[in-house]
Amino acid sequence: MENFNYKEEFEYLNSINTRKGINPKYYSGLNWNICVKKLILQELNLFRTSLSGLTCLYISDLKDDIEKRKIPDEETYYGDTVSIRFGSTALPLKPLGKQKVLIEKGTNLVFSYSMNGSVVDIIYPSESEISTPERKFYVVGAWENSLDLTTNEIRKILSLFLNVQLSGSVLSYSRRIAFTFAKLESRHLSITEGRNKIFTYIKYITSFFKYLRKIYGLLPQ
pLDDT tens track for 86-117: 988 776 665 566 666 677 888 999 999 988 88
Beta bridge partners of 84: 59, 109
207 lies in some domain: no
- Please tell me the predicted confidence (pLDDT) of residue 2: 56
Task: Please indicate, yes or no, if residue 190 is contained in any of the structural domains.
Answer: no
Count up the domains in the chain and report the number. 1
Domain that holds residue 96: 6-171
Residue 89 lies in a domain: yes
- What average pLDDT does the segment 139-154 reach? 90
Model pTM score = 0.74
Check pLDDT > 80 for residue 163: yes
194-209, pLDDT tens digit by residue? 877 677 777 766 766 6
Whether the pLDDT of residue 184 is over 50: the answer is: yes
Query: Could you report the per-residue pLDDT of 12-45, keeping only the tens digit for each?
Result: 766 766 665 555 555 667 788 888 999 999 999 9
pLDDT tier at 122, thresholds 50, 70, 90:
very high
